[in-house]
Amino acid sequence: MTTLKTNNKLHPVFNYLIDCIDFNGSNVEKLHSVLIEFNRVANYDNNKRNIPNLQNRFADWLQGLPSCINVDYENYRIIEIAKEWGSIGKDATDKQEDKILSDWFNFISCKFFQLCTQNKVDYSYTY
């Protein structure tokens, strides 16, 4: 099984994320719009104290299924995606699948911020 490293700009997670965003415009505008919504809804001072790490805070927000970014959340679909991307084999064990499921929203959060960096979208104000 050949897999692309997830920091590779060609990894399908980056196109997946852009496709999940429910805003019109360029990639930069879409990413910026998601950041604005995240900052408005979930990035308040008390939440920053409770979840000090930005990536974890964003992942926590994603788990609430915000309407502006529609990432998959159903276990069977997450596993299908992981297999499509070559993250796990077609014959993955339950343990491997559980690891993918438990890491999903943190993985997506990490890749979202990498995508922002790739597109030169400033998110420093969210810290």
Q: Report the pLDDT value the prediction gives residue 1, as an integer from 0 to 100.
A: 38
Burial class (CB in 10 A: 0-12, 13-18, 19+), 114: middle
Q: Report the pLDDT value the prediction gives residue 3, as an integer from 0 to 100.
A: 44
Q: Report the pLDDT value the prediction gives residue 45, as an integer from 0 to 100.
A: 96
List, in sequence order, every residue forming a beta bridge with 69; answer none if it has no partner: 21
Question: Do residues 41 and 47 touch, judged by C-beta distance below 8 A?
Answer: no
Question: Do residues 13 and 118 touch, judged by C-beta distance below 8 A?
Answer: no
Distance, in Å, from the CA atom of 70 to the CA atom of 72, rounded to the nearest integer, reads 6
CA atoms within 13 A on the CB side of 7: 1
Which residues does the chain have with pLDDT short of 50? 1-4
Q: Report the pLDDT value the prediction gives residue 10, as an integer from 0 to 100.
A: 76
Q: Report the pLDDT value the prediction gives residue 4, as an integer from 0 to 100.
A: 43
pTM: 0.91
